[in-house]
Amino acid sequence: MTKKQNSFTSNLYIFIVMAFMYLPILVMIIYSFNDSKSRGAWAGFTTKWYADLLQNESILTALWNTLIVAVISSVVATLLGTAAAVGIQAMKKRNRELIMNFTYLPVMSPEIVMGVSLMLLFVMFGVDFSLFTVIVAHITFNVPYVILSVLPKLRQMDKYLFEAAMDLGCTPLQAFMKVMLPEIMPGIISGFLIAFTFSLDDFNISYFVSGERAQTLPVLIYSMTRKRVSPEINALSAIIFVVVLTVLIITNLNDVRKEKQLQKGGRRG
Amino acid sequence: MDNNMFRRLTALFCTILLLAASGSAAFADSFEFDRDNLPYTDDWDAYSYDEEYYSQLAGQGASINFYNWGEYISDGSDDLVDVIAEFEALTDIKVYYTNFATNEELYAKLKSGAASYDVIVPSDYMVARMIKEEMLAPLDYSNIPNVRYMNPAFMDPNYDPGSVYSLPYAWNTVGIIYNTSMVDEEPDSWSVLWDEQYAGQILMFNNSRDAFGVTLKYLGYSLNTEDPAQMREAAELLKEQKPLVQAYVMDQIFDKMENNEAAIATYYSGDALLIDNDNIAIAIPKEGTNKFVDACCIPAVAKNKLGAEMFINFLNEPPIAAQNTEYVGYGTANLAAYCLLDEEVRNDPILYPPQEILDNSEMYINLSDEANLMLDQLWTEVKASNKNILTWGILPVMTIAAIVIGKRQYRKNREKRHKYMIED
């Protein structure tokens, strides 16, 4: 009986946690179909915000900017970060610790400090603010996250694997591509995803380094607060949520299928 | 009388006329014309674009950077014109449009040198500050012919004498927003914000300038006062009001008023008109209020001044200005555009309040640094006075949490010890 009770409380606990995380999103999606600008009162079902969204050039431009910045900055940060991690791993202990402290610094310091200092830097060197400066800034704050997620994988890896591959005739490049890369791939992918999400919803830094021509979505939404945030933003957020959810479900289903195939193959063999 | 003498006399006469005009053309005299006898036509088709003027920069790949408040220009929704798209099609000038949320943000962005804009829309007091700091370029009115449509009452304002640097974009007032099902009679004075009858049902501005402005007006002082005694008196009154206030908010008032969560609130009246609740009404108190103007300006660092002036001119094409004011929800200072509006809108006592109220109302001017500092300090005092639920609510919650965690830990340890004992 105690067991039953236990499973009931743990289910309840999971339910509460899930509700806490997903209820706001659910409410947002429901209100994206609300036939009024109100965020409180329900005035009937409509899809007009979705239609308006497709017409609203400033939101679409901001969305496009945000996606460009997120993709470019996370890809570049992943390349730089992975290379850095491999290099750091190969360092002597003292140097490694020194570099790692520098890596932690941007992660630990408040974003606003990063934002202001990057802005001052760009002003000092006379760089014109544009999407380019935003991308550079995002790469800067993304690299440490990639390093931090790749390093543990490198540490877990058997360091003799790389040497063994070379002994068996691989060039260093081949050894890296064929042996090391597959081993640390999960770390790289999670680093990339972290970088991508951080870049997608960054406000503080983008706010300081975006120029007069390009603003990202978070900066645009923030500027709507004197009037009221337009329900088109609810519609957009709902679309983004559904897209992300679908991608996640598809990858998960794929994984499950692969695992099943592996199990089947194993049994046959 | 010889010719020379005549000329001199005429000059003198003109000067006197000009002086008299500039004296009376202060903002307080807005709408000094017969509302039933409109000076311009109400025919939308009477206007057409001057193609030659607007094609000056065509085919050169010209562009302008326009920095405006969020959701503050008609974007083609609700069957209104998409102002920027229309301008781009007409002039072949690309408009890069970005937004800000506060005047201070705009100021900081411009001051840091981080961006160069061609057209910006600061509010009155910020215009004055920017003029003082030489951040604006004088407008060349020979490139803005539509200035002829402006309401003379809005020209030569105290924040920009002679309208050298700015042309009004929209104007509005601060009002009392109330729920008719909760408030019996129409409030006609700011005193309703101190009425104990509405304890816990009042929403107050969450920014120092507006909160003090309302209080100073209630006390009968100027909302631009720099007299420490008056400012302190207002702070005391705000502290007195604090127990009655449900929350200090800005744009959350939309949701709270819509859902009947509060009875009375202070906000910008034009925005309050958009509240989706039939019980909501707006009143502008007899003591007068704050009226504010957001004005188009060109920063001194602008790269395409002619393009910027063409854009400002385009914003003042009467049909464009009329549709834009409908989208924005504030009043327009463009008289010809005003004449195009529906009669119902033209006579709206909230958007275009009667003369007596406007006469009592004031615009913000840029306060001195000392006064600003004192305002901030007093506001912090007001916000910090009294205990609020958070500060003394947190202690019991944390105590309970500590007890629960401690108890669990204790039990776990005991079980562990127990287990070891058995194993031993």
- Please report the pLDDT score of residue A168 as a whole number: 92
Q: Is B304 contained in some domain?
A: yes
- Residue B335 belongs to a domain with what CATH number? 3.40.190.10
- Please report the pLDDT score of residue B24 as a whole number: 37
Number of structural domains (chain B) is: 1
How confident is the prediction along chain B (424 residues), in pLDDT tens digits per residue? 445 554 554 444 444 444 444 333 334 444 555 666 788 988 999 999 999 999 999 999 999 999 999 889 998 887 899 999 999 999 999 999 999 988 988 998 898 877 889 999 999 999 999 999 999 999 999 999 999 999 988 999 989 999 999 999 999 999 999 999 999 888 989 999 999 999 999 999 988 889 999 999 999 999 899 999 999 999 999 999 999 999 998 888 888 888 888 999 999 998 888 787 888 999 999 888 999 999 999 999 999 999 999 999 999 999 999 999 999 999 999 999 999 999 889 888 889 888 888 888 899 888 888 998 999 899 999 988 765 555 566 777 888 888 888 888 888 887 777 766 665 5
- Say if B92 is an interface residue toward chain A (CB within 8 Å): no
Closest CA to B75 of B328, B336, B345: B328
> How would you classify the pairing of strands B166-179 and B202-205?
unpaired
Between CA B286 and CA B303 the distance in angstroms is 46
CB contact under 8 A, B114 and A222: no
- Say if A124 is an interface residue toward chain B (CB within 8 Å): no
Closest CA to A157 of A84, A93, A90, A95: A90
Helix (H) / strand (E) containing B294: strand B291-299
pTM of the model: 0.81
Tokens of B358: 């406007």
Between CA A233 and CA A43 the distance in angstroms is 18
Name the minimum distance, in Å, from the CA of A121 to any CA of chain B.
Answer: 10
> Residues A69-111: pLDDT tens digits?
999 999 999 999 999 999 999 899 999 999 999 998 888 889 8
Q: Is B79 contained in some domain?
A: yes
On chain A, the residues whose CB falls within 8 A of the CB of B75 are 56-58
Tokens of A8: 């009931």
Question: Which parts of chain A have pLDDT scores under 70?
Answer: 1-4, 39-40, 265-269
Between CA A153 and CA A186 the distance in angstroms is 8
Q: Is B132 contained in some domain?
A: yes
DSSP single-letter state for residue B290: B
> Please, are residues A137 and A210 in contact by the beta-carbon 8 Å criterion?
no
Interface test with B, best of A228, A229, A230, A234 (most B CBs within 10 A): A228
From residue A11, how far is each of A15, A16, A18, A131, B404 by CA, in Å? 6, 9, 10, 47, 20
Q: Is B340 contained in some domain?
A: yes
**Minimal-distance CA residue of chain B relative to A228:** B251
> How would you classify the pairing of strands B136-137 and B291-299?
antiparallel
CB contact under 8 A, B115 and A38: no
- Domain boundaries defined on chain A: 1-56+231-269, 58-229
- Say if B279 is an interface residue toward chain A (CB within 8 Å): no
- φ, ψ at B279 (rounded to 5°): -85, 0
- Say if A9 is an interface residue toward chain B (CB within 8 Å): no
For every residue of chain A, which 3-state class applies, written as one string? CHHHHHHHHHHHHHHHHHHHHHHHHHHHHHHCCECCCCCCCCCCECCHHHHHHHHCHHHHHHHHHHHHHHHHHHHHHHHHHHHHHHHHHCCCHHHHHHHHHHHHHHHHCCHHHHHHHHHHHHHHCCCCCCHHHHHHHHHHHHHHHHHHHHHHHHHHCCHHHHHHHHHCCCCHHHHHHHHHHHHHHHHHHHHHHHHHHHHHHCCHHHHHHCCCCCCCHHHHHHHCCCCCCCHHHHHHHHHHHHHHHHHHHHHHHHHHHHHHHHHHHHHHC
Residue identified by tokens 């908010």 is: B249
- Partners of B179 in beta bridges: B280
CB contact under 8 A, B75 and A208: no
- Say if A39 is an interface residue toward chain B (CB within 8 Å): yes
Q: Is B263 contained in some domain?
A: no
CB contact under 8 A, A211 and B251: no
- Structural domain range at position B89: 3-168+294-347
- Say if A225 is an interface residue toward chain B (CB within 8 Å): yes
Q: Annotate B319-365 with DSSP letters as a single string.
A: HHHHHHHHHH-SB--BHHHHHHS-HHHHT-TTTS--HHHHHH-B---
Name the minimum distance, in Å, from the CA of B89 to any CA of chain A.
Answer: 15
Interface test with B, best of A208, A227, A229 (most B CBs within 10 A): A227
Question: CB contacts < 8 Å between A and B, how many?
Answer: 100
Give Cα A208 distance to the centre of its chain. 20
Residue identified by tokens 């700015």 is: B166
Angle between helices B228-241 and B369-384 (to 10 degrees): 20
What's the CATH fold of domain A58-229?
A: MetI-like fold (1.10.3720)
**Minimal-distance CA residue of chain A relative to B327:** A227
Tokens of A186: 């999960």
- This model of the complex carries an ipTM of 0.78
Between CA B140 and CA B127 the distance in angstroms is 17
Q: Could you say which residues from 247 to 276 on chain B have a Cβ atom under 8 Å away from some Cβ of chain A?
A: 250-251, 254-256, 258-259, 271, 274, 276
- Say if B399 is an interface residue toward chain A (CB within 8 Å): no
Closest CA to B176 of B203, B153, B152: B203
> Please, are residues B215 and B234 in contact by the beta-carbon 8 Å criterion?
yes
**In chain A, how long is the greatest CA-to-CA distance?**
72
